[in-house]
Amino acid sequence: MINIIVVDDHELVRAGIKKLLADVQGLKVIGEADSGESIISQVRQLNPDVVLLDLRMPGLGGIETTKRLTRLLPSLKILVLTSKSDELFAAKLLQAGAMGFLTKGCHPDELVIAIRKVFVGQRYLSPDIAQKLALQHVNEGDESPLMQLSDRELQIMQLIVQGARVQDISESLCLSTKTINSYRYKLHDKLKVNNDVELTHLALRYGLIEDVNEA
């Protein structure tokens, strides 16, 4: 039996995954959590085999949560779920210790296959992510400057370039507006841009966000 904990800040998503896996032979959801902070205490108590982890959550992001969980329980297998196909996050998550990366739009059968593969120690990447990572290695001369960013910096940059206000980001991440602005200026300095418009152009170039004008 593969014991699983589902981590997502949306209750509806957790309920859907639990319902999907309820009738799958050999899989059992033994717990759920709505944040990176709350999953850490559950892992200590329940000792699961696999954690299905949402990438973007308030508080600890998916990458920092992955790092902490793998330090806490090295045998734990982490399969990250996200709403967006993004090779940048996939690379960082694999470096942090995740065993797999899957988009929430995948077929239910693919989720089951991914869980079983990571449980036995095999990596699993959704096909589109695997292809993008392969192409990234082929073209290493154009390595994304976003790879130098921390989990939190990347998280805040994505919210900024998606048009979120500083106040909204502050409330979402439970950080002060002063802290968000500090991160914002640090991003400008690290990436050598002068303003948020240039930051957005950089995000488009390296695939952090998609161009809405593309077909």
**pLDDT value, residue 87:** 61
pLDDT tier at 143, thresholds 50, 70, 90 = low
Rounded average pLDDT over 154-164: 84
Strand 77-82 relative to strand 27-33: parallel, antiparallel, unpaired?
Answer: unpaired
Of residues 121 and 162, more confidently modeled: 121
Closest by alpha carbon to 185, among 194, 176, 175?
Answer: 194
The structural domains of the chain, ordered by start, are: 2-137 (3.40.50.2300), 144-205 (1.10.10.10)
pTM above threshold 0.85: no
pLDDT at residue 212 is higher than 50: no
State which of 76-85, 177-186, 194-203 shows the largest mean pLDDT: 177-186
**pLDDT cut 70: percent of the chain above it:** 85
pLDDT tier at 14, thresholds 50, 70, 90 = very high
Are 96 and 63 in contact by the 8 Å Cβ rule? The answer is yes
Separation between Cα atoms, residue 137 and residue 90, nearest integer Å: 13
Are 62 and 35 in contact by the 8 Å Cβ rule? The answer is no
pLDDT tier at 142, thresholds 50, 70, 90 = low
Are 85 and 91 in contact by the 8 Å Cβ rule? The answer is no
- Kind and range of the H or E run holding 204: helix 196-205
pLDDT at residue 48 is higher than 50: yes
pLDDT at residue 214 is higher than 50: no
pLDDT at residue 164 is higher than 50: yes
**pLDDT value, residue 133:** 62
Are 160 and 105 in contact by the 8 Å Cβ rule? The answer is no
Of residues 164 and 195, more confidently modeled: 195
pLDDT at residue 8 is higher than 50: yes
In the 8-state DSSP scheme, what is residue 70? H
